Structure 1
C-alpha cells in the first residue's frame, strides 16, 4: 500500500537531487504536477520541522544540511565495509558489467552499493533501486540464506507477478530454482524482470547481514558468459574473504 504523503516527501527530495538548486512553491507544484494547496502544506510542514530552508529571501526552498547529518548518522550505524565496495569494484572491472550488493526490503531486493559497467549498452542501476525478490537472481541469492519457514513467510507476501515467460510465478518454482542453484553454485536469471538482461548472483556474507552480490548485463553479452562470470565472482570473493570477515 502506497502512503501518498510519505511518497511525496521522498519524491520532493529526489526532485531537489535532480534540480540541484532552490525551487519556489510554484516551481515545485508545476514540475511535480502537485496541487498548489498540497504543495504549500507539504513544503510548509517540512520547512517548519527544519528540513527545508530559504537560502535567499523569496528565492525558493532547498533541503537543509539536516538531511546530510541524519543520513551520515544512519549510515555510520550500519555501514557496508570498505572491503565490500572494493570487492564490487574489482568484480565490475574484471567482468566489465554492472555489479551490485543488495539486501531484502519486503518482497524486493534493494541495491545498497552499485558500480556500473562502462559499456554504452549496459544495465543502468543505482543505489536504492529495487527488483522483485522472486524475479531476480539477486533476490533468490538472498532467499537462499533464509530458512524454509522464513521463506514461506516471504512467499505469502509475494504477488508472484509474471514479468516475462521466464519469471518464476509460484513458491514451488522458486524452491526449484534454489535447489538448482545449490547444485550449480550460483543463482542465475535471464529476462525474468527486465527484458534482455542476464544476471549471476551469490550470497555475500558480511557480518550478521543477509546480503547478495549480482553481476548483470545485456543477454547478448552476458547470457552465455554466466559460468565464466560466476567463476570470477567466486575467485574474487575468496580473495576478499578475510577482509570481509574482519569488517
Structure 2
C-alpha cells in the first residue's frame, strides 16, 4: 500500500535535508515535480501545524525544530543502546566492510544503525533502508528468531519476488537456507537482492528485542571471506556480551 500524501511529507523532509536551505513554493514544486496546487496545500498544512516556517516573510520555507523534538521523543521511547552502535563500529573496523543492525518490519528488514566501510567501493546504506526479509542474510537472521508459526504466517504475506537467480522463491527455500545457516554457524547471501553484494549476518543476543547484525560488501571482496567475516563478528559479539554481563 502506498499513501501518496504521507509519501509526499516524507519526500519533502528528505528534500530539505538535501537542500540545507529554505525553498519557495515554486522551487519545491519544480524540484519535486509536484503540481503547484498540491505543493501549496501540503506546505500550508505543515505551516499551520508548526512543522514549517518562513525565515524571511513570504519568501521561502524551512522545517522547524519540531521534527527533531518529535523524533527525539520517539527515540527515547525505545532507544537503541549506544553499546549496539559501538558493536557495529567494532565489527566494521574488524571486517573493513559496511555493518548494519536491523529489525523486522513486516515483510522487510529495516536498518536501525549503519556504519559504512571506508572503501571507495562499498555497500551504501542508510538508516531506515529496507531489505526484503526473504532475500537477504539479515532478513533470515531475523526470521530464525521467530517461531515456526510466526514464519508460516509471514510467508503467506510474501510475494517471494525474484531479484536475481539466487533469490529464495518459496517458504521451503527459505527454511532450507535457515537450516543450512544453523549448520554453518552464520547466515549468508550472494547477490540475492542487490547485484554484486555478499552478506554475512548473525542474530544479536538482546533481551526482549529481535535484532540482527549484517556485514555486506562487494562480491569480489567479500564472497570468499564470509567465514572469516563471520568469525570476526562472533568475536565482537562475544565481547559485547561480556561487557554487558
Shared topology, TM-score over 0.5?
Answer: yes
Asked if residue 122 in structure 1 is aligned to residue 122 in structure 2, the reply is yes
- Residue 46 of structure 1 deviates from its aligned partner by 1.1
Unpaired segments of 5 or more residues in structure 2?
none
Distance 1:34 1:242 in 2: 53
- 1:142 is aligned to 142
The within-5 A match list for 1:72-91 is 72-91=72-91
Unpaired segments of 5 or more residues in structure 1?
none
- 1:29 is aligned to 29
Look up the SS of the partner of 1:225 in the other structure: helix
Does the 8 Å contact 1:196/1:218 carry over to 2? yes
The within-5 A match list for 1:208-227 is 208-227=208-227
Distance 1:71 1:244 in 2: 27
Q: Do the aligned partners of residues 165 and 32 (structure 1) sit closer, same or farther apart at CA in structure 2, a change above 3 Å counting?
A: same
The number of equivalent residue pairs is 245
Distance 1:243 1:31 in 2: 49
Distance 1:208 1:2 in 2: 31
Distance 1:29 1:225 in 2: 47
Look up the SS of the partner of 2:210 in the other structure: strand
Distance 1:195 1:138 in 2: 16
Does the 8 Å contact 1:203/1:213 carry over to 2? yes
TM-score (norm 1): 0.97
Q: Do the aligned partners of residues 243 and 47 (structure 1) sit closer, same or farther apart at CA in structure 2, a change above 3 Å counting?
A: farther
- 1:188 is aligned to 188
Distance 1:59 1:243 in 2: 54
Does the 8 Å contact 1:199/1:217 carry over to 2? yes
Distance 1:15 1:137 in 2: 31
Look up the SS of the partner of 1:135 in the other structure: coil
CA root-mean-square deviation:
0.9
- Residue 76 of structure 1 deviates from its aligned partner by 1.1
